[in-house]
Amino acid sequence: MEKLLASSSSSSIIKREISTMKLIRHPNVIRMYEVMASKTKIYIVLELVTGGELFDKIASKGRLKEDEARKYFQQLINAVDYCHSRGVFHRDLKPENLLLDANEVLKVSDFGLSALPQQVREDGLLHTTCGTPNYVAPEVINNKGYDGAKADLWSCGVILFVLMAGYLPFEESNLVALYKKIFKAEFTCPPWFSSSAKKLVKRILDPNPMTRITIAEVIENEWFKKGYKPSVFENEDVSLDDVDAIFNESGDTQNLVVERREERPANPVSMNAFELISKSQGLNLSSLFEKQMGLVKRETRFTSKCPANEIISKIEEAAAPLGFDVKKNNYKLKLQGEKTGRKGHLSVATEIYEVAPSLCMVELRKARGDTLEFHKFYKNLATGLKDIVWKSGDETKEEANDGVRIVSS
């Protein structure tokens, strides 16, 4: 994993994330093994987690059975309780930040918004408003200071609800309306929740942090204790000297690495005949499996006779008004949405291939976020790209009123 040091503010955020992960040694938290640095980049070696996001499991199943949801919730509470014991508060807990390893053991990740003890003010509270709106505690939105442990537990309660219900307890398209629901804890448990599960969820999603149940009380709750296995691990003393040395730019760190310079390609990647055929609808067998499994298509492509650099400029121009930030790496682009959607920020990976000296193919693939939002985004983007999309004469006549033709796979 590699992170760029773009500014002093981003550098401090990255240092906090690295420091936090180095402090944590728990079986339900992603482990960081090593930190290295070059003059411009920080490289961190993390535990390999291959089971995907817990969010994907909810998306595919709709909702989990109560016993399965409880198992993941127990592991989540174990991880969060341990983090709090080390003075670390996550502040952005949500299913997308909960990963599963090959044995379906839950691993908490993404400490980018975490808080360390030194961020607590004299009143004993945190004061930075952060997190994902649907999962954030009401006192965080209030901007009057909040207890990081109690705010994290609220997010755990929302996650528990989502695991068992398959949908969010608080959801509104309008942010003000959403916050009103959160302030009042205005939600209803579905009928398939057991009475003991309902009681626990309501005690966690108490809008008053002073009367909200604590993690210690959650662990003693009868519903929670069913089949509960406390975490088994060894406490380790962890030094942050190597992290400090890297960010202080002292040059004394033994973890300094030298990067091998890669020459920038003069042209986009060339696509040979076999690769081009594999993209065609007639010989692409993946469509058979997609239809059978009922999957929504997640990528699209178009061709253009414009030079690759002009295509990149046009994509940048078309994406900016739609609220997307564009990051370029040679002839690959990453379009990152600024607004949070149904499944977090929409991220679109784009690559330009050279099919022939005067013909490029542009492929756009949903890297993260909601597939329907991806379709809507591409439809809007296509309007801004219609001047560079190549069509045959017949297509031009047929699609005069329809804009750009989308070729999905």
Tokens of 383: 């309007």
Cβ–Cβ < 8 Å for 312, 328: yes
Going by C-beta distance under 8 Å and a sequence separation of 6 or more, which residues neighbour residue 67?
Answer: 226, 227
CA–CA gap between residue 331 and residue 16 (Å, rounded):
32
Under DSSP, the state recorded for 167 is S
SS3 109: coil
DSSP letters of 1-70?
Answer: -EEE--SHHHHHHHHHHHHHHHH---TTBPPEEEEEE-SSEEEEEE----S-BHHHHHHHHSS--HHHHH
Instruction: Work out the end-to-end distance of the chain between its first and last CA atoms, rounded to an integer number of angstroms.
Output: 29
CA–CA gap between residue 25 and residue 10 (Å, rounded):
25
Catalytic residue from among 81, 92, 147, 206: 92
Tokens of 264: 């920038």
Q: Is 147 marked active-site? A: no
By CB atoms closer than 10 A (0-12, 13-18, 19+), residue 349 is middle
Tokens of 254: 């033994």
Cβ–Cβ < 8 Å for 34, 44: yes
Q: So which residues are the catalytic ones?
A: 92
